[in-house]
Amino acid sequence: MLTQQIAGIILTLTRQVPTSLVSEMTFPLWGLVIFILWTIVIVILLLTVRIRHLAAGGSVKDFATPNDESLLWRLFRVQANLVENLPLYLGVVFLLTVRGVSGIVVDALVVVYIAFRIIHSLIHIAGLDPKFRLLSLAIQLTCLVTLITLALF
């Protein structure tokens, strides 16, 4: 009986997805890929800086010490910010995909959103004036709200 259940589970897991459920790679989906890859790049960069910090005799306690002068802290905040924003963009992509909403306006908004998400990270990493990050965030939120509106109406 257990063998039959396992065989049933394996058959279920290995069945092909019906082609009606398979979607082309759209701008919103490519944006999601880029967002995820950018997050991975930042995590790798953060790990590299942490390892160098420890190798130079630094303490693990320094990882959680707020200090905008520290690249370690700024990278930590960038990574946390990306992880906080990824579900928002993922939700928008889900709505656009499920509702079948696409077009030049959607594509342009996705490109602007992803570009300013990356710019936001770079501004933070470089330790530039936070006003630039705020402007970048405002542009991103405008894109997200507009995309949600397009997906719903």
Tens digits of residue pLDDT in 112-135 = 999 999 999 999 999 999 999 999
Retrieve residue 76's tokens. Answer: 């930590």
pLDDT tens sequence across 61-109 = 777 788 888 899 999 999 999 999 999 999 999 999 999 999 999 999 9
Contact by Cβ (8 Å): 23, 29? yes
Residue 13: what pLDDT?
63
* Residue 143, amino acid: C
- As a dihedral over the C-alpha atoms of residue 135, residue 140, residue 141, residue 142, rounded to 10 degrees, the angle is 90
**Cα torsion through 39, 46, 41, 145, rounded to 10:** 20
